[in-house]
Amino acid sequence: MTAQPLELTPKLSFQLKLHAFLLWSSVGFLMPIGVLLIRISNNVKNTKSIKVLFYCHVASQIVAVILATAGAVLSISNFENAFNNTHQRIGLALYGFIWLQPLIGFMKPDRDVKARSVWYLTHWLLGIAICVVGVANVYIGIHTYHERTGRSVRLWTVLLTVEVSVMAFVYLFQDRWNHVVQQQQEEKAATLSDEQSEEHAYPANDHKEVAVVP
pLDDT at 115: 86
Which contiguous run of DSSP H or E holds residue 45?
A: none
Residues in the chain: 214
Which contiguous run of DSSP H or E holds residue 23?
A: helix 10-23
Mean pLDDT of 112-139: 92
Percent over 70 (pLDDT), the chain: 85
d(CA 193, CA 1): 72
d(CA 130, CA 101): 9
Name which residue leads in pLDDT, 107 or 202. Answer: 107
Say what angle helices 116-149 and 86-106 make with each other, to 10 degrees.
150
Domain residue limits, the chain: 10-191
The band of 99, judged by pLDDT with boundaries at 50, 70 and 90, is very high
Question: Could you give the angle at the alpha carbon of 99 between the alpha carbons of 26 and 137, nearest 5°?
Answer: 45
Q: One-letter amino acid identity for 8?
A: L
The band of 206, judged by pLDDT with boundaries at 50, 70 and 90, is low
Pick the CATH number of 10-191 from 1.20.120.1770, 3.50.50.60, 2.70.150.10, 3.30.870.10: 1.20.120.1770
pLDDT digits (tens, 9 = 90+) for 151-186: 889 999 999 999 999 999 988 887 776 667 677 777
pLDDT digits (tens, 9 = 90+) for 29-69: 999 999 999 988 888 889 999 999 999 999 999 999 999 99
5 pLDDT more than 70? no
199 pLDDT more than 70? no
d(CA 185, CA 2): 60
d(CA 47, CA 26): 28
Average pLDDT, the chain: 85
d(CA 62, CA 46): 25
